[in-house]
Every structure is written in structure tokens, then in C-alpha cells.
Structure 1
Amino acid sequence: MDNNNTTTTGRRDDDHTPTAAAGADGPKKFPKGVVLGADGKPCRSCTSFASWAAITKSQTKGASAGTTTGTAVPSTFSSQPSPPADCPPDVEALGRSTWTLLHSITATYPTAPTASQQDNARGFLRSFASLYPCWVCAEDFQDWMKTNTPRVSSRDEFGRWMCEAHNAVNVKLGKDVFECSRWEERWRTGWKDGRCDG
């Protein structure tokens, strides 16, 4: 199976980077890294700003050449490193903000939560995983939770579980993993060297 194609349903392939969707004039080509939504159109919250900018560049080239399929542009094309602050977030900005929120929730979670608070945490994670704007990310998180049930019986347990979830994503993206024994320093108390204290 070709890992760079998808149908108009936007269902993902193995590497989550569909590059074509069927159109009236045949498949429409998109730059590598562009993820399609269920409507067959590029998903802004699933795609990096660089790839999104490449779409615009390829559409401009296609229009000037009188074509509708566009010209694929390397996903490294970008006139600026990130979108302006008043633009919808790309997948990277959305991810950074999301991890900040999720880790902050675990950092303020009770040390000895009630049964109701534990139910709320599990319910939040289920809802979050079904509503997350990047459908590829949402499906990955849902799949990960099937084999890594949320551990919410204490702050430390929840914080370590969230760190493990974050590390699983980092591994997929080829990023460094974080030492989960230090999650509380990073997200709740601040580093022991005092640099977070002003």
C-alpha cells in the first residue's frame, strides 16, 4: 500500500500524511505533510503551518499555470516559521497548547481525589479524545488509551500517566522523551534551581 495517498474520507494511512484526494478532474495533489479531513479537504488543525503554506504556494502556481491540480511543493517551504498569532493554530501550536493544558490539569489534580473526581478525570479524557480538533491525533490518543488506561487515583499517578502519553507522542514524532520522575518539577513546583521563581 502506498503510504502517501488517502481517499476523500480523510481516513489516515500509516504515516498520517495523505497527499491526494479525488476531485472532479482526478486526484488533487497536496504537499507532503498535509492531512485531509473527513470532507476530503486539508485539515488545518492536523497540518503544520509550513505544509499549509505549501498548499497556498502550490495553488498559486496551479492557478497561474491554468491548472486545478496544483504543483507539489516541499513541506519545508514557509515564508515564516510559524503562523501569525491571530491565525488559527496549526498542528504544532495546537499540540504545544494542549500539552500545557493537560499537564497543568494533572499538576492541580488532588493528591487524594474522591471517586467523583476520578470519574470526572476519566470522563474528561474520553471527551477530550473524541473532540480534539486534529482527528489523526485524536484517534492516536484513543488507541493509546485502549492499552494505557488512565491512572487517576492520585496526582502523582495521573501526572506520570500524562507524561507517558506525551512521551508516546514524542517517540512517534522522533523527539526526545522526558524523564517522567521529574514531571512535577516541570509542571507544578518548578525546577529545583529556582529559575521558575523569578
Structure 2
Amino acid sequence: MANQPATPGAVPGPEQPPAPLPKGVVLGKDGKPCRSCTSKSAFSAWASQMGHAKPAPSSRPFSSAATTSTPASEAPARKDCPADVETLGRSTWTLLHTIAATYPPKPTPVEQNNIRDFFRLFSKLYPCWVCAEDFQAYMKKEAIKTESRDAFGNWLCDAHNEVNRKLGKPIFDCSKWEERWRTGWKDGSCD
């Protein structure tokens, strides 16, 4: 069996080192690629490297491509796949900013405690463990401001901008957080 070529997905033996992971693939704590910590393109590159072929469009359940004769290489991307890190991040920020937008202007002590509890648990349960640990560290550095909607919304905007900085994304003007997430833009484009 010695000197056999590497088989995609095969467990490496003493003569077969593991294939390097494509750039951007994050391993989960179990040592396997973490879908919710990795971009779709990086995860797909890993799956291809491991020999996981994409099914032909006709074998895809719930796909509009199943009724067309489009070649597999040109098939539209599915919308019902597990979330990658970008999809999960966008959806999460939408939820969190919407929570901030509906947070009371003058919250009671119970409401303030509830939001602190939610964020403590959220940061422990978030599916991307790298992101979760990063957010926990941010909350240790910058305590959640719960005394008002404005304070909480600005704290969350600052937290989001901290992530944007690390990812090389544009920084949002936090003076406009309420217009973006609560009232809509002043020009009426959200009405």
C-alpha cells in the first residue's frame, strides 16, 4: 500500500501529509472546517479539494435549477444552504441592531439586566467560535451600555465598527445608527 497517490478525503498516513487548507478556512474546535466561521468560497474550495463534488442541478431538491437544462457548472447558487460567516454576520448584525432600535428609551433595571444577560449568552452561543470569543473580549474591554436606547445603540454601533475595522470594511457613522436601524433615512427612501 506504500507510495499510493493521495485520495481526496482520505485520512493521511505516515507517508501522506494532510493537504493544506485553502486560505480562509477556519477549523472548528473539533478540528474540522467550521462552516459558520468560513466564507462560502473558502468552504467550497475545501470541499472541492476533499473531492466533494457538487450535485447536478436536477438532483438538487427545492432548486429552481431542477427544472432547467442548465449545466452544473452554470447552475445558480442555492439559497437554502447552511450560513457561511458572511451570511451569518449580516443576519446577526441586522437582528442585534433591530433589538437596539426597539430597546426602550428609558429602560427599567429589569430591562437593562435582560439585555446584559442576552448579550452574555449570545456571545457564548454564537455559532462562529472565533467571532464569539472576539465579541466576549470586546465586552470585557467595553462594558455594555444599557442605561438608554441611545447609549445601547451607540455601544452596539461601536462594537460593529470594531469588527468592521478588523475585517477592513468601511466604518459606519454612529451618529446615524438610529436613522439606519430605527426611523429610516431622512430622505424618505425607506418609507
| Category of TM-score, reference length = shorter chain | 0.7 to 0.9
Distance 1:121 1:47, change over 3 A: same
The residue number in structure 2 matching 1:101 is: 95
Listed as ranges, the gaps of 5+ residues in structure 2 are: 1-10, 53-72
Secondary structure of the 1:33 match is coil
**Does the 8 Å contact 1:49/1:83 carry over to 2?**
no
In the TM superposition, what is the alpha-carbon distance from 1:29 to its structure 2 partner?
1.8
Structure 1, residues 129-184: CA drift from partner, whole Å, max 9, x if none?
A: 00000000001000111110000110000000000000000000000100001000
Task: Tell me which residue corresponds to 1:59.
Answer: 50
1:23/1:132 CA distance change after superposition, 3 Å: farther
Under a length normalisation based on structure 2, what TM-score does the superposition of the two structures give?
Answer: 0.78
**Consecutive unaligned residues in structure 1, runs of 5 or more:** 1-21, 62-78
Paired with 2:12 and 2:101, the residues of 1 have a C-alpha distance of 47
Contact persistence 1:83–1:89 (CA under 8 A): no
Which residue matches 1:151?
A: 145
Aligned equivalent of 1:14: none
Q: Percent identity?
A: 61
Aligned residue pairs total 158
- RCO comparison, higher one (Cα < 8 Å, 6+): 2
Partner SS, residue 114 of structure 2: helix
CA distance in 1, matches of 2:129, 2:29: 9
CA deviation string 1:91-148 (max 9, x = no partner):
0000000000000000000000000000000000000000000000001000111110
- When residues 122 and 42 of structure 1 are mapped into structure 2, their CA distance, relative to the original with a 3 A threshold, is same
CA distance in 1, matches of 2:28, 2:12: 14
Code of the aligned partner of 1:129? S
Aligned to 1:86: 80
Q: Choose the corresponding residue for 1:169, options 163, 170, 173.
A: 163
Residue 7 of structure 2 is matched in structure 1 by none
Letter in 2 for 1:45: S
How many Å apart are 1:23 and its aligned residue?
5.5
Instruction: Report the TM-score when normalising by structure 1.
Output: 0.76
Write the distance in 1 (CA, Å) between the matches of 2:47 and 2:79: 19
How far off its partner does 1:59 sit?
A: 1.6
Check if 1:41 corresponds to 2:35.
no
Residue 27 of structure 1 deviates from its aligned partner by 3.5
Consecutive aligned runs of 4 or more in structure 1 exceeding 6 Å deviation: none
Q: Is 1:31–2:25 an aligned residue pair?
A: no
Change (3 A) 1:83 1:170: farther
Matched residue SS, 1:60: coil
* Larger Rg computed on CA atoms: 2
- 2: distance between equivalents of 1:128 and 1:107? 18
Query: In the TM superposition, what are the counterparts of 1:117-132 in structure 2 within 5 Å?
Result: 117-132=111-126
